[in-house]
Structure 1
Amino acid sequence: MLLGDVRRAVRRYRMLDPGDLVVVAVSGGSDSVALLYALRILGREQGLKLHAAHLNHGIRGQEADADEALVRDLAERAGVHLSVERLEGESLLRGAGLEARARRARYEFLHRVATRLGAGKIATGHTRDDQAETVLLRLLRGSGSRGLAGILPLRSDGVVRPLIFASREKVLAFLQTAGLAFREDRTNADLRFLRNRVRHEVLPLLRAIAPRVDERLARLADALRADAGFLDAETDRVLGERGGWQRRVRGEGRELLMDRAFLRMLPEALRRRTILRVLAEMGAPSDRAAAAVAAIEEHLAGDFRDGVRPGGIDLRGGGRIAWESSGLRAGSSRIEVSPFDLPLLLPGETRIPDGSALCLEIVAGSSDAVVFGPKRRNLCTAVFDADAIRGPLRVRSWRAGDRFRPRGFGHRRKVQDLLTEGRIPREVRNGVPLVVMEDEILWVAGIRESEVGAPTQGTARLLILRHVGAESSGTMDDECP
């Protein structure tokens, strides 16, 4: 039964704790409707508090409006409060990558709702079928073990997938038994999208050969996720400290030098992970990482008794990995970030040089849940008392001598010390955004907020800041959506 699968997933991955406030993503499709009502039942058993959230992308016209109407009706029948937001669909339709932009918009919306409410968890309706599709898609794209680990049942930013053990067949049976209506998105049948071709063409063929293929692909993802976790921990150990290239891998301004003998000594799996970490640190494009690792492996397998022949590989964006007698030298134009100082738009979005953005908004209402709720945000979000913030705000890079009063410390700290403790590489520290009010630092993004402007139980309006889409600053790790 579906409820048994949900209870098993929640228990195995420790997704939810009694009393949790959970934002439930409800699109109106079968999976999300089943998720809402399954969690409603589980909530009575475990004392969960639910809040539904629906994003109308504005892409499908009347169909999208009908989805929204159904979700409103379902939430009311379930006795669950609902947040709805509507987008102007034209903004998502511009250019390629519609699916990725729509997905990003959904998660940004869900995190905004969670931040406003002080919810520690966001539940989405990904099923075992979705997991099987994802593993196959990533296999087709040549992903490594991390990619083949598939959809994470529990993410570090609080996103959970309680239906991850449930098949779509069980979802439909649950809805039929409960007499629950749902909507079908006609774009799910559009075979121009690769995922739909895997869903409607590839998986049915595989099920005809191996009826339990979905279950086996899910088990594969679980096993590879465990392996990836172990290898990541071993890579951290090899590098000494994540982001701080000590002894064997050391930063030299805009370059990184890797010791050839040391790399050759490592087991292949650990060596590949170490190289990938270095490539990521220097800002190498992810779609070139596999080719770069293969080229480096081929180089390391060579015979160096007669010396090292000059050579190397070029990476898109101006990066290069060169073979030298002392080792492998990796250089990238993206490592060193120039200082910046920009006015912040309030409300609105301000782009900074590394391509990420600071998003600011003011929301009305009591701050009790946001400030004092469990795990009310991730490190990419900061919350202040809007009425305590005076004058224009700016975003700038770190400067020597910067100090501020981190929330919870009770005294002033050097920003440089916090960046060191946060394992931010020296080469990219200029890319870490600091939000300032005159000479007072309010937030070191991804690290700490200031005591200045901290919300209290009497706060009437909240200023919410989010650091979105950073790829090279080093501040946004797995903590960010």
Structure 2
Amino acid sequence: MPESFDHKVESTLQRHGMLEKGDQVVVAISGGPDSVVLLHILHRLRIRWGITLIAAHLNHALRGQDSDEDATFVAEYAASLGLPCVMETADVKRYCKAQGCSIETGARDLRYTFLERVARTYNADKIATGHTADDQAETVLMRVIRGSGPDGLSGIRPVRDGWIIRPLLNVTRKEVTAYQATHKLSARFDATNTEQHMLRNKIRHHLLPLLQDEYNPKIQGALSRLADVMRVESNYLDWELEALTTQHIHPVNRDAVCIDLTSWQTIPVALRRRLIRQAVQGAGGRSTRLTYDHVERAQALFDAGHAGQILHLPDEIALERRKTTVLICRSTSEPYQIEMNIPGTTPIPNSDYYIMTEIVDISDSPKERPPSCVAFDVDVLPSQLLIRSRRPGDRMKPFGMNGTKTLKKLFNEWDIPRLMRDRVPVVTDGVHLLWVAGHRRGNQAPLSEQTRKVLIMQQVGRLASGRTDQ
């Protein structure tokens, strides 16, 4: 006897631990059959499962009056069930133009941002979406066509990020339609789902039916099983990755990490690729933007790159090969110039560190200081000092030297990574470079027998020197 729709949904909820008693669930509803059925069955199950529901609808404003009518329909449907409904409108086209992404990608990004915002506003525990087994099959096929690894072939995960759940993932669109008819549920029709210029629609209306008719009548189930197998194996690789991440990926700054190469060659290739993706995420990039070729070029840099070699990746992420590490960080850093608080603390822009200053009597000035700390005769300096990023042509007269050197040459001598040089704070009196923070002070305002007051500067933060290796 075929398994009932209700039983399939409840089995999915139980198998993946999607709900707990007392959960408040934000239910995404577009007005289409899948989301209408999702809201309806969760409403029917709410007492047995001990959950409360909030409907949430984002008007993408892509279909003019039809989009507005979708919103009206959803509001009325939620009201008929006695449920609150949160609604917003988004300018998807404008967002996509700004982000340089497709309408499908932009709409999805805005939709999930909206749903998560609603969930946080109402202290909800879960977000439910109406993805079905058909959506799963289409997604797996789409990723096969575009090229994907185990993560991509995992398809739509039943539970994502611990709180986004897909209760309909094991029921087909045909079963959804039958449930809709049984319960006499109305739904909106979205004409864009039939537009043939979209890959998903081509797969839905042409490729899947062809595979079903000519090759495997149970292709949908086969693709769902593939996704399930890939998800389990991908989860195992992620588990293995956790220990490797701690051992090999080290934070440098808020958007910079480095990977230790000491035992790189002993790591299986499957995990090396994951480490690279993980490091890109740690530097503020999106691993989903990385193609197979991106990852392979990164591996080549790790395996045989020369010191100082740089590889640029999407999201303005760059890799720099070092002697024993690879630095991964944002390749761009905005120039800055700020006034130093004397005495006080001055945060360095776009950084995890800051500079502390204090003025003390010469008798209270410590004789020995850490490398991140320097002292000046305050009476010789102007009252206002600046902290800024480096500039072309910067020159410095390092303490103890007679001549000057360009900052570029000094950075080379100090072995500062090329990608980090725009981040190194420079303290200046407006004319002279007084201190390259964390590295070396200049010759100006040294302490002497005439010194009465001392200005002490110290760089404090996660990595005071800005170096990733020696």
Q: TM-score, normalised by structure 2?
A: 0.63
Cα gap change, 1:120 to 1:205, in 2 (>3 Å): same
1:211 and 2:217 matched: yes
Is the 1:24–1:50 Cα contact (8 Å) retained in structure 2? yes
> Structure 2: how far apart are the matches of 1:88 and 1:312?
41
Amino acid at match of 2:312: L
Q: Does 1:24 align with 2:30?
A: no
Q: Are positions 1:107 and 2:112 aligned together?
A: yes
Within-5 A mapping of 1:452-463: none
Q: 1:139 aligns with which of 132, 141, 144?
A: 144
1:271-286 alignment, distance < 5 Å? 271-282=272-283, 286=287
1:197 corresponding residue in structure 2: 202
CA distance in 2, matches of 1:78, 1:164: 23
Q: What SS does structure 2 have at the residue aligned with 1:22?
A: strand
Structure 1 stretch displaced more, 32-41 or 269-278: 269-278
Q: Name the SS for the 2:311 alignment partner.
A: strand
Amino acid in structure 2 at the alignment position of 1:145: P
Could you say which residue in structure 2 is the equivalent of 1:359?
A: none
Structure 2: state its 5+ residue gaps. 339-348, 357-418, 424-470
Aligned match for 2:56, one of 53, 56, 68: 53
CA displacement at 1:167 relative to structure 2: 0.6
Counterpart position of 1:334: 331
Alignment correspondent of 1:34: 37
Distance 2:308 2:18 in 1: 49
- Judged with a 3 Å threshold, the aligned counterparts in structure 2 of structure 1 residues 159 and 242 are, in CA distance, closer, same or farther, namely farther
The equivalent of 2:388 in structure 1 is none
CA-CA distance at 1:172 after TM superposition: 0.3
**Aligned partner of residue 56 in structure 2, secondary structure:** strand
- Which among 66, 82, 87 is matched to residue 84 of structure 1? 87
Q: Does 1:319 align with 2:321?
A: no
The superposition leaves residues 31-72 of structure 1 with CA deviations (integer Å, 9 ceiling, x where unpaired) of 000001110111121121111111222221221122122222
Alignment of 1:51-450 (within 5 A): 51-88=54-91, 91-92=94-95, 94=97, 96-156=101-161, 158-208=163-213, 209-240=215-246, 243-244=249-250, 256=258, 258-259=260-261, 262-282=263-283, 286=287, 287-295=289-297, 314-316=311-313, 317=316, 319-322=318-321, 326=323, 329-330=326-327, 332-334=329-331, 398-400=352-354
Identity of aligned residues (%): 35
1:371-397, CA deviations, whole angstroms, 9 ceiling, x for partnerless residues? xxxxxxxxxxxxxxxxxxxxxxxx986
CA gap of 1:165–1:242, structure 2 versus 1, over 3 A, is farther
Name the amino acid aligned to 1:268.
Answer: V
CA offset digits 1:201-258 (Å, max 9, x no partner): 111112121122222212221222222222122122123368536xxxx99x967354
User: How much does 1:289 deviate?
Assistant: 4.8
Q: Root-mean-square deviation (CA), in Å?
A: 3.6
The 1:93–1:235 alpha-carbon spacing in structure 2 relative to 1, beyond 3 Å, is closer
Instruction: Measure, in 2, the Cα distance between the counterparts of 1:313 and 1:75.
Output: 54
Kindly indicate whether the alpha-carbon contact (under 8 Å) linking 2:27 and 2:127 is maintained by their aligned counterparts in 1. Answer: yes
Q: 1:168 to 1:175 in 2, by over 3 A?
A: same
> What SS class does the counterpart of residue 159 from structure 2 fall into?
coil
Q: Does the CA-based 8 Å contact 1:256-1:330 persist in structure 2?
A: yes
2:285 & 2:82 partners in 1: Cα distance? 49
**Matched residue of 2:127: which SS?**
strand
Partner residue, 1:448: none
Q: Distance in 2 between the 1:150 and 1:290 partners?
A: 17
Q: Which amino acid aligns with 1:218?
A: S
How far does residue 183 in structure 1 lie from its aligned partner after superposition? 1.1
User: Cα gap change, 1:55/1:259 in structure 2, threshold over 3 Å: closer, same or farther?
Assistant: closer
Read off the aligned partner of 2:292 and give its amino acid letter: A
Secondary structure at the counterpart of residue 40 of structure 1: helix
Q: Which amino acid aligns with 1:77?
A: S
For residues 152-186 of structure 1, give each alpha carbon's deviation from its aligned partner in whole angstroms, at most 9, with x where no partner exists.
21122521111111110110000000000111100
Displacement, 1:311?
9.7
User: TM-score scaled by structure 1?
Assistant: 0.62
Q: Which has the higher contact order (CA 8 A, sep 6+)?
A: 1
Take 1:87 and 1:295, find their aligned partners in 2: how far apart are those partners? 38
Instruction: Write the letter of the residue equivalent to 1:293.
Output: V
1:271 Cα deviation from its structure 2 partner: 2.7
Is the alpha carbon distance of 1:98 and 1:19 closer, same or farther for their aligned partners in structure 2, counting shifts above 3 Å? same
Residue 398 (structure 2) aligns with:
none
Check 1:281–1:117 CA distance in 2 against 1; reply closer, same or farther (3 A cut): closer
Q: Which has the larger radius of gyration?
A: 2
**Matches of 2:123 and 2:234, distance apart in 1:** 31
> Cα–Cα, structure 1 residues 396 and 319, in superposed 2: closer, same or farther, change >3 Å?
closer
Q: Which amino acid aligns with 1:100?
A: T
